[in-house]
Homo-oligomer: A and B are copies of this chain.
Amino acid sequence: MDQKLQSYIEKLNQLDFQRMYNGDFFLTWEKTNDELAAVFTLADALRHLREQNISTRIFESGLGVSLFRDNSTRTRFSFAAACNLLGLAVQDLDEGKSQIAHGETVRETANMVSFMADVIGIRDDMYIGKGNKYMHDVVDAVTEGHADGVLEQKPTLVNLQCDIDHPTQCMADMLHIIHQFGGVENLKGKKLAMTWAHSPSYGKPLSVPQGVIGLMTRFGMEVVLAHPEGYEVMPQVEEVARKNAAAAGGSYRRTNSMAEAFQGADIVYPKSWAPFAAMEKRTDLYAQGDSEGIQALEKELLAQNAQHKDWCCTEELMATTREGKALYLHCLPADINGVSCAQGEVEASVFDRYRIPLYKEASFKPYIIAAMIFLAKVKDPQAALTALAQRGTPRWRG
């Protein structure tokens, strides 16, 4: 076995992550530091094996069920890639095509699609108070189904974005940071600015900023959340961020000044989102079927957005970051001035300069998802990695 793989295995040996076996992945703050470290390490190990053209198939057959309640290209492909890397075939649960629309209960559907499912990936980020709850309902259903002998295995849930967190995105962002800074041990005291930015479109999910402050406060960094007044995120996630920062020896604070957030920052993440309170209101309007109310709210929100066109990641602002060279992050696609819109989240020259790092940031997502699945499905991951390396089946006989 090569030294690099050996070092990953040794790292895993030092971590306690046994609770992840047969588990699920809902929110990063429900996981211990060791568990998160295990995901990062395993993601690196799986990538390393693939780069060495060594197959990491641990399934000879099995299904990865995907349910996307919102449009998605990158997360859809990341999930498909992760499943494929481990040997699972993806089967989409398309609510349009299926009988779910006919009023089936979640419990029943969850079991009906899971007879041979090893993984269920769900994206449900549209309505506050609904997405994460739905995922729990699904997991409760299949856990019960497995206990009752209906399912021969309990499929593991991977949260592909809910109303609260976007763990696969934020973990990929974080692994990118770790690689860029040469290790998690170098992040102590670094300043990270998660800031709102203007977008001409309306109602972008809160799960990215929430996921970022909920995760990135755990590594001793000085995390600042910046947004115009009225663009608050969920208070309970801010509470998580505060506790994380205290425990990790870093800090978390909020400001209404983008300039203040960028000042001296090592990492910036400027991105639009919708106000939490407005999203909550929208959820209620949808529940009441009040389409007039929804339209009125949308107009109102677009007008509100338009008042903050100055919240843009400009060259000028970038120049105020540490040595003018902060690492620029985005979950993509970004609203780029003069490219995808007139006035958006970022100036074209800034975006362009960081294009390659941004693509690399995105490239971690399939491995993060694969690692989450691996840790839920494999009892002894270190032994499994060793066995894969020893088996040495080429992924590609090129």
Q: Which residues of A contact B (CB under 8 A)?
A: 47, 50-51, 55-63, 65, 68, 71-74, 76-78, 80-81, 84-85, 87, 89-91, 93, 97-105, 108-109, 111-113, 115-116, 118, 145, 148-153, 201, 332-333, 339-341, 356, 359-360, 362-363, 365-366, 377-379, 384, 387, 393-398
CB distance from A336 to the nearest CB of B (A): 9
Do A359 and B150 touch (CB < 8 A)?
yes
CB contacts (< 8 Å) of A62 on chain B: these are 84, 395-396
Which one of B113, B201, B362, B398 lies within 8 Å of A378 (CB-CB)?
A: B398
With A71-B98, A87-B61, A340-B104 as given contacts, are A379 and B398 in contact (CB-CB < 8 Å)?
A: yes
Kindly report which residue of chain B lies nearest to residue A88, judged by CB atoms. B84
Do A97 and B71 touch (CB < 8 A)?
yes
Do B60 and A396 touch (CB < 8 A)?
yes
With A71-B97, A71-B98, A378-B397 as given contacts, are A63 and B91 in contact (CB-CB < 8 Å)?
A: no
CB contacts (< 8 Å) of A360 on chain B: these are 149-150
Q: Cα distance A85–B115 when bound, in Å?
A: 11
Do B61 and A60 touch (CB < 8 A)?
no
Do A366 and B90 touch (CB < 8 A)?
no
Do A91 and B77 touch (CB < 8 A)?
yes
CB contacts (< 8 Å) of A78 on chain B: these are 115
Do A118 and B73 touch (CB < 8 A)?
no
CB distance from A274 to the nearest CB of B (A): 16
